[in-house]
Each structure stands twice: as structure tokens, then as C-alpha cells.
Amino acid sequence: MKPYGRTCAIVAVLVACGDCAQAYDLTGAWATSADQCSKVFARKGRASQVAFANFSGIYGGGFIAEPSRLRGKFETCAIKSRKEDGQTINMVVGCASGVMTSNIQFFIKTVDETTIVRQFPGIDGMEVTYHRCQI
């Protein structure tokens, strides 16, 4: 392929993908109450490491999302698959606690850049709202 042919091919791909949806970035700390972020999460060790604060459970729940895993206060879940369909993210995660391992399916509805809702299919009206924390 001639050099100008490659350039045309790259431009064609960029134009075709101009409206391609970007993946929703879950990375960060998420709490059930935006007002309680500083009581649920704290910086530990290195300045960039976010962890759960002492007694964080009494201020609501939360989780820490990383590119390949989700961390809760008592377990870590490896993201096995992730599929986005509009505002819905469907994830299957493999979780390990101190006692057992299990696969869990998550349905997350994205509201905006700072708010998501975990939905529980089959259980009408059951959902948990999470807010992105700026730690």
C-alpha cells in the first residue's frame, strides 16, 4: 500500500469512529453518600493509594474501581467480562473473600460522570446509588 493509501485508510477509520461510544470510566472511589466520601475512604501509604477508612461501614457502603478489579472493604473482585449497552454496564466479576470465591453479575446504570446505580434484576425496586468521590 502506498503511503497516501495508508493515510486515507487511517482517516476513513477516524471519520467512521467519530461517533463511536467511549467506555464509561468507573475507575475511582464510589460511596453510597457523596457527603460521606471522606469518612468512607482515605489515602494510605503512597499519596495516590485510596483505601477504606477505619469504621467506613458506619458511614455507608462503597467500592474502589480499578481497571481490572473492584475492591470492597472485605473482598476483591477481578473483572472477568464487561459489556456496555447504552447507559447500562453488565459485568461479571470473580470475587474472593477470606472464606470463599464466587462469580457475581453486576448491572450498573450510568446516570452521569459522578453517579451510577447498581440494579438487581429480578428484584423490583431494589437498587443502590453510588457517587464518585474526589479523594
Residue-wise pLDDT tens digits, 50-108 = 998 988 878 888 999 999 999 998 889 999 999 999 999 999 999 987 778 899 998 99
Give, in degrees to the nearest 5, the angle at Cα 38 between 66 and 35.
105
Q: Would you place residue 47 in the very low, low, confident or very high pLDDT band (cuts 50, 70, 90)?
A: low
DSSP state of 44: -
The model's pTM is 0.77
Identify the residue with better confidence: 57 or 2: 57
Domain 27-133: assigned CATH number: 2.40.128
Per-domain boundaries in the chain: 27-133
Q: List residues bridging with 78 in a β-sheet.
A: 69, 94
Rg for the chain, CA atoms, rounded: 19
